[in-house]
Amino acid sequence: MAKRVIVVGSGIIGASIAYHLAKEGAEVTVLDAGEPGGIATRASWAWINASWGNPEPYFRLRMASIARWRALQEEIPGLAIQWCGGLIWDLPPAELDAYAAERAAWGHPIRRVTRAEILALEPNLREVPEHAYHVAGEGMLEPLAATLALLEAAKAQGAEVLGDMPVKWLEEEDGRVTGVITDEGVIHAEETVVAAGAHSAALLDSVGITLRMSSPAGLLSHSNPAPRLLNGLVMTPGLHIRQTAEGRIVAGTDFAGAEPEEDAEGLARSLEAKVEAMVKGAEGLGLDFLTIGYRPTPADGFAAVGRPRNRPGLYAAVTHSGVTLAAVIGQASATELITGARDALLAPYHPDRPSLT
């Protein structure tokens, strides 16, 4: 008999879990409080990476996800990922060199590039340093489109996706989570997956489970569309830029977005001005719109994936860097939910670790 699973949340994490579960034969219902496609997901810079600031186990998890994204691209028609590579010089030179040496020792495809090579990769950049690093294996996707493609692929495997269906709290009987309560009543399932992004902690709290997390805000500016001016991701000090499939240049003070100040519009305009100063051909493009997203971030900064307090019927998947990690989290969560086997890569990221409880 197929296992009946409810996935709460249809952002990139819930969508990937739903797809992998449905593919493995589970009977899946995805519920979302709003329009399917996520909240943080829509406002993401959407860089698929294993970049600096990650200890080796997290780097390995991210590399596994990059490999899984490549496989998903083969499996799911319409899932568009550009493996465009990234140019990076957003650290002081000595730190940048140390980061590159460490990553190279871990087997990362990172390459030192000279000023001339930087300009060969990105001929429209105005201000470039004497050297930087290029990471060929990095990519980007359009986060809403990719999430909708995952949801469509889940539906093609028999999953049901219901929007405008807020889950008020989790239903529990005799210490087992048995489903969810919505405005339309109780929906029962053998497993309930909380992939509700920034709202995950509140849902877990409804069955007495603490997940310490925060949701820092990040602002990105989106220019009007332009013909192709950037070939890949560009991470410079104080300005990260990429060009979307429809030609907009999306910028943040870094990929996670700028801290929105009182004058969000003014901040977005100043980012756009930096873009226009940096990229030849972007002069006068103008700001089209800004987004402010809230990154679901477990308290120690790493993913929280697994069965909290070993509670039967309940699973949680909450993470920042969710665009990078959705592929591996979807696959590993589905395997654990169906077979009980936990992927060794997830070992450090159980939601019960002391920093989160």
Ligand X SMILES: Cc1cc2nc3c(=O)[nH]c(=O)nc-3n(C[C@H](O)[C@H](O)[C@H](O)COP(=O)(O)OP(=O)(O)OC[C@H]3O[C@@H](n4cnc5c(N)ncnc54)[C@H](O)[C@@H]3O)c2cc1C
- Contact set with ligand X (CB under 6 A): 8-14, 31-34, 38-41, 43-47, 166-167, 195-199, 203, 218, 220, 255-257, 293-296, 319-324
Smallest distance, ligand X to C-beta of residue 167, A:
4
Smallest distance, ligand X to C-beta of residue 31, A:
5
Task: Find the angle CA(246)-CA(114)-CA(133) to the nearest 5 degrees.
Answer: 60
Phi then psi for residue 107, to 5 deg, are: 95, 15
Smallest distance, ligand X to C-beta of residue 131, A:
24
Smallest distance, ligand X to C-beta of residue 164, A:
9
Measured CA to CA, the distance from residue 195 to residue 58 in angstroms comes to 20
Residue closest to 76 by CA, chosen among 146, 5, 159: 146
Measured CA to CA, the distance from residue 218 to residue 294 in angstroms comes to 6
Structure tokens at 283: 């002069």
For the chain, how big is the Rg over CA atoms in Å? 20
Burial string for 155-170 (b: 16+ CB within 10 Å, else e) reads bebebebeeebebeeb
Structure tokens at 313: 């019927």
Measured CA to CA, the distance from residue 221 to residue 68 in angstroms comes to 29
Nearest to ligand X of 123, 163 (CB atom): 163
Nearest to ligand X of 118, 291 (CB atom): 291
Residues constituting the chain: 357
Q: Are 192 and 316 in contact (CB under 8 A)?
A: no
Nearest to ligand X of 85, 322 (CB atom): 322
Strand, helix or coil for residue 186: strand
- Position 36, amino acid: P
Measured CA to CA, the distance from residue 74 to residue 83 in angstroms comes to 13
Nearest to ligand X of 33, 114 (CB atom): 33
Smallest distance, ligand X to C-beta of residue 256, A:
5
Residue closest to 355 by CA, chosen among 156, 214, 185, 180: 214
Structure tokens at 22: 């449905």
Strand-pair partners of 47: 140
- Position 200, amino acid: S
Nearest to ligand X of 182, 278 (CB atom): 182
Smallest distance, ligand X to C-beta of residue 330, A:
10
Q: Which residue is nearest to ligand X (CB)?
A: 11
Nearest to ligand X of 138, 190 (CB atom): 138
Nearest to ligand X of 282, 291 (CB atom): 291
Smallest distance, ligand X to C-beta of residue 333, A:
12
Structure tokens at 9: 């949340």
Smallest distance, ligand X to C-beta of residue 142, A:
12
Measured CA to CA, the distance from residue 180 to residue 187 in angstroms comes to 5
Nearest to ligand X of 229, 328 (CB atom): 328
Nearest to ligand X of 18, 282 (CB atom): 18
Smallest distance, ligand X to C-beta of residue 220, A:
5
